[in-house]
A and B are shown apart, each in its own frame.
Chain A
């Protein structure tokens, strides 16, 4: 196995670092094991998580192997030196600029980058190359929140902090599966409920695990959030629930916003009708919000990833401004960010509609940044945002592109087109840590080996404006180097040596902090001048800090705007008169449903990291599509069937999950799977991507779609120690297993072909085979020197053989007992598989939990005490609760 060279002695104290997954930004203690890996646990002192980690964070230690890493620079597939590769980048950019102007060069960055990387990329592009076309995958993530903040507050400022979740009496979760996507924050919410009786209301077209845990679930029609919150504003106004002093002293635009809200949602009945909700439920929500002072409204991708996302966020913010519930403990609108450093990117200004450091394109702002940087080619206006950027690439307007730390061939809407567009570029540079991503495979490129988590050194900012260090605890593998360094090298090669001469990440950070404070004097929210002169040593040892942190401030500021002080010219917040919501595309006879997309509990983005963890791959092993039972029946689909989901933009074949949690007419498919791990599950290719007119964020959650059965003769699994290519014509999805890798597949082939495949895959191995061709059944285990090296099961499609039992036998490299050898073929658990994984942190399966309940554990706590399930991150508690309810329900007489 390919492992890191030991960097730190194992007995050294743990390294404090920050989790690289969602925007919660949990502190992590990493203890290198001296063998290239590390043990991780939550940092008890970090104010985001106080020692807790979710399933993904807990499994970080399983993602550190180097087997699939990019370790050396290469040019069009041929290994190259760093010098040659950087020269090629500089040459490509210079040529493009010379022939087509500097605006033919673009950067597509990532919320996975560190702030320091972002800063150097932004400076290089906007000050020195002179191209405004710097955008990032954060565009797909939270740019509508940014736009809404700026419209309302005059700045991209998150007004509150995580402590507000602890101290709230009402938590409204809008378009957020917090239980799965921000599990540690959800734990804080549940703690608040236990401690102070906090009520939780979830607003989501889909009844997620979060919805299951809520006191009130509002399963509204997709895209009608603005209607609901317009109705709420009307209700608050009509019931005298306004904070008239706050509205008068610190805001503007209330009357117009209310008038618009009245037109959209004039009454309770009209609100209920437009949102498809029961009037009673709407009334309950309105009353809860009206009567609960300490209310936080958290929103996430359900709000953001929408062609009306900015309006949705503003409709929410309007209600908080109207009640003055902002910037005070236990209240406020709260955007939960999806990526570990989306916030850092926003602070740097690494987005096409920003210049730098929360400054935009007012002439004085442009001038300020120009002078600070000594920039010869400062840009003066916005660049193209992600969707239009890739359209411009398709049209040949962009000739050179540098992609860093993201996989747009999977994650962009209309991903097929995006992937094809890459071929139009003269120069494509990809900074990437993981080999074999769909983007790397799309075409030849200059590939630069990037550092991964554990190797990187720098800062990230979480959803509550808290800057934490990601620290290095592993030696960089191969020739991988920091992204900021590679960017600076190109800057030097382009003739800007003095401006790109930082000795280390701390120096970059100091410059970034200095820019934020440059001629600021309280005019801009983002101010880090308090740490602009931080020493290298202090940078290395610094505890997490919250901004704003002006010069001489003792500590950062937890909340803003309780007494106004917005960053508009008149220091007043703006109510926004939102548009009546209307989804971009209507359904039709050909596409009668709508496709929603999102995440699952244990996976992250395009699986390049979580896909390496056996534990995380066990929760959901195949790309799937949720559908309401009525829709399933109408389309001839049953649980576990494969179905072709089509939109006008693309198609995918997904496993059907029939659930009443799906709204009628709505499909849901996770966005994680790529061509690297499934034959036909790139859901990004199906999304329409119509953009929000304000933020440019594409719609990813309401594409008109059709679904139909995709019949296969056989289903099965193939487990091997090392990955093998799936045969042509198979539908398949790959998952990492303990001691191996597995394909779950469907095929038109039968037992005979399966037998031939195993013979071909394992020549010289000893095969134990069970073949019943008439029943379409085949099972096989392959042994080399008595060691299990492969296992396959194939059965008629409806039977869907489960690999739970077989999987267990790959955990060991030891020789198998005869009973085990037998169980592999019989498909009968002798050393029982414990069923589908429920608790990823402690690896507890469904069967174990059911047995535990049966044995007398009749509460979540008792189950946890008995089998540990749900006692770490707790994100499986909703599932445990469901199992308890099912098991303990009085049996029908």
Chain B
């Protein structure tokens, strides 16, 4: 009898897992996938482009419903799982659906954080997480509207640029003294800020939101220093938190995320977790790349091939409306470490290598992200970095010469 495999969640991690699993072990499982969103998995990375009108919704789709059918996957959308009974090995979904499982995969993602400040529940305060959010923002972003984006992380930046592209008067608030402080040092962040401003986004740093105000809907945002910024729309992008409620309720070990081992198995045998909801070796990830790596590992594992996930070197690679940004490993230079920096603010370029004990410990690139792959490899492997390597990392390896003279 084929094994019954239930996958809770149908996001990017879930889909990649299903693709790899059905490639590696077609027909081996009887797969049911349930997703809370009304549509099948789509490309969440493109949401900001969708917001800015650079792409349409069709461009965000991955696999049609027929693909799931052809691969023997029962897909249930618009159906949030409500409970897991680990003793009975069943998952309760929505209103009354019960799915028995032999193995269970949790790919439930994360939930956006709302600031614990007054007025955050006013209509017009929108998070930026899924297609529904994009639709809501686009509805509010009428001509002449004033939008405030809270949060100078990757997603906030993208949301702000998307809004500005729609012609909305956009202000980005960030509580820290630089944008993307976890990925960028001050110089790199300043370049990104300049790029944001060049794209029409007003950026306020050290801006601590005190409250959102309005009579029945958003009218203004008040900062801790008393400044009041008029607003028709507030986009909340201050981070996400792994969705752990379902797992916790089922008695799975939960830290910041759902605890998994190197095989992506939770504290309960037969139950796995991957993607943003999972916590591996104390680390949770909010990016697609580790989720994909985890999906590969789990697919191979369930297909019967030994596989282990060793964690993903932290790196960020994105484009702020065309400006490529890359960050991996250490951002600031610890005592005793060295930095090599190429800075050309006028050209919008910044490249920094952090080198510790002769090994690459971090890289921050803005404007030109060449050799990012090599950087990630070097950071992961800890291979020694020669003087020539430093030069090549900074300026690119010379094109390979043809062998014949």
Check B355 against A770 for contact (C-beta < 8 Å).
Answer: no
Interface residues of B in 134-162 (CB under 8 A from A): none
Check A772 against B344 for contact (C-beta < 8 Å).
Answer: no
Interface residues of A in 800-823 (CB under 8 A from B): 818, 821-822
A766 within 8 A of B: yes
Once A769-B342, A775-B387, A775-B390 are accepted as A-B contacts, the answer to whether A828 and B347 lie under 8 Å apart by CB is: no
Q: State in angstroms the CA–CA spacing of A827 and B387 once bound together.
A: 14
B394 within 8 A of A: yes
A783 within 8 A of B: yes
Pick the contact of B338 from A770, A774, A821 — CB < 8 Å? Answer: A774
Interface residues of B in 335-360 (CB under 8 A from A): 338-347, 349, 355
Report 22 cross-chain contacts, Cβ distance below 8 Å, ordered by A residue: A766-B344, A766-B346, A767-B343, A768-B343, A768-B344, A768-B347, A769-B341, A770-B340, A771-B340, A771-B341, A772-B338, A772-B339, A773-B338, A773-B339, A774-B338, A774-B340, A786-B346, A818-B347, A821-B347, A825-B344, A827-B395, A828-B398
Pick the contact of A772 from B346, B349, B390, B396 — CB < 8 Å? Answer: B390
How far in angstroms is the closest Cβ of chain A from B246?
50
How far in angstroms is the closest Cβ of chain B from A501?
65
Once A772-B340, A773-B338, A774-B338 are accepted as A-B contacts, the answer to whether A783 and B394 lie under 8 Å apart by CB is: no
A680 within 8 A of B: no
A826 within 8 A of B: yes
How far in angstroms is the closest Cβ of chain A from B369?
14
How far in angstroms is the closest Cβ of chain B from A789?
13
Check A774 against B344 for contact (C-beta < 8 Å).
Answer: no
Question: B: which residues have CB within 8 A of A?
Answer: 338-347, 349, 355, 387, 390, 394-396, 398
Residues on A with C-beta less than 8 A from B394 are 770, 772, 826
How far in angstroms is the closest Cβ of chain A from B26?
49
Check B395 against A828 for contact (C-beta < 8 Å).
Answer: yes
Interface residues of A in 116-170 (CB under 8 A from B): none
Once A821-B347, A828-B395 are accepted as A-B contacts, the answer to whether A770 and B387 lie under 8 Å apart by CB is: no
Q: State in angstroms the CA–CA spacing of A774 and B346 once bound together.
A: 25
How far in angstroms is the closest Cβ of chain B from A821?
6
Which 10 residue pairs are nearest across A and B when measured between Cβ atoms? Answer: A768-B344, A774-B338, A772-B340, A826-B395, A766-B346, A770-B342, A771-B341, A769-B343, A775-B387, A828-B395
Residues on B with C-beta less than 8 A from A766 are 344-346
Residues on A with C-beta less than 8 A from B395 are 822, 825-828
How far in angstroms is the closest Cβ of chain A from B405?
8
Interface residues of A in 546-601 (CB under 8 A from B): none
Residues on A with C-beta less than 8 A from B398 are 828
Residues on B with C-beta less than 8 A from A825 are 342, 344, 395
Most chain B C-beta atoms within 10 Å of own C-beta, residue among A767, A774, A783, A786: A774
Q: State in angstroms the CA–CA spacing of A828 and B390 once bound together.
A: 14
Residues on A with C-beta less than 8 A from B339 are 772-774
Once A769-B342, A825-B342, A828-B395 are accepted as A-B contacts, the answer to whether A774 and B347 lie under 8 Å apart by CB is: no
Q: State in angstroms the CA–CA spacing of A182 and B260 once bound together.
A: 85
Q: State in angstroms the CA–CA spacing of A761 and B332 once bound together.
A: 29
Q: State in angstroms the CA–CA spacing of A777 and B391 once bound together.
A: 10
Residues on B with C-beta less than 8 A from A767 are 343-344
Residues on A with C-beta less than 8 A from B340 are 770-772, 774-775, 777
Pick the contact of A770 from B341, B347, B396 — CB < 8 Å? Answer: B341
Once A826-B395, A828-B395 are accepted as A-B contacts, the answer to whether A769 and B338 lie under 8 Å apart by CB is: no
Residues on A with C-beta less than 8 A from B355 are 774
Residues on A with C-beta less than 8 A from B343 are 767-770
Q: State in angstroms the CA–CA spacing of A768 and B367 once bound together.
A: 13
Residue of B nearest to A770 (CB): B342
Q: State in angstroms the CA–CA spacing of A766 and B343 once bound together.
A: 10
Q: State in angstroms the CA–CA spacing of A772 and B343 once bound together.
A: 11
Q: State in angstroms the CA–CA spacing of A729 and B390 once bound together.
A: 30
Q: State in angstroms the CA–CA spacing of A773 and B395 once bound together.
A: 17
Residue of A nearest to B396 (CB): A826
Residue of A nearest to B344 (CB): A768
Residues on A with C-beta less than 8 A from B342 are 768-771, 825
Residue of A nearest to B398 (CB): A828
How far in angstroms is the closest Cβ of chain B from A421?
51
How far in angstroms is the closest Cβ of chain B from A633?
26
Q: State in angstroms the CA–CA spacing of A430 and B343 once bound together.
A: 50
How far in angstroms is the closest Cβ of chain A from B204?
26
Residues on B with C-beta less than 8 A from A769 are 341-344
Q: State in angstroms the CA–CA spacing of A136 and B113 once bound together.
A: 90
Known: A771-B342, A774-B339. 16 other contacts (CB 8 A): A767-B344, A768-B343, A768-B347, A769-B341, A769-B343, A770-B340, A771-B341, A772-B338, A772-B340, A772-B341, A772-B390, A772-B394, A774-B355, A775-B340, A818-B347, A825-B395
Residues on A with C-beta less than 8 A from B396 are 826
Residues on B with C-beta less than 8 A from A773 are 338-339
How far in angstroms is the closest Cβ of chain A from B188?
14
Q: State in angstroms the CA–CA spacing of A821 and B344 once bound together.
A: 9
Residue of B nearest to A783 (CB): B346
Once A774-B338, A828-B395 are accepted as A-B contacts, the answer to whether A768 and B387 lie under 8 Å apart by CB is: no
Q: State in angstroms the CA–CA spacing of A818 and B367 once bound together.
A: 12
Q: State in angstroms the CA–CA spacing of A770 and B355 once bound together.
A: 15
How far in angstroms is the closest Cβ of chain B from A744?
21
Residue of A nearest to B351 (CB): A770
Most chain B C-beta atoms within 10 Å of own C-beta, residue among A766, A786, A822, A827: A822
Q: State in angstroms the CA–CA spacing of A120 and B394 once bound together.
A: 67
Interface residues of A in 822-850 (CB under 8 A from B): 822, 825-828
Check A768 against B346 for contact (C-beta < 8 Å).
Answer: yes
Q: State in angstroms the CA–CA spacing of A237 and B394 once bound together.
A: 74
Residues on B with C-beta less than 8 A from A818 are 347
Residues on B with C-beta less than 8 A from A774 are 338-340, 355
Q: State in angstroms the CA–CA spacing of A335 and B93 once bound together.
A: 110
How far in angstroms is the closest Cβ of chain B from A528?
64
How far in angstroms is the closest Cβ of chain B from A779?
8
How far in angstroms is the closest Cβ of chain B from A78?
45
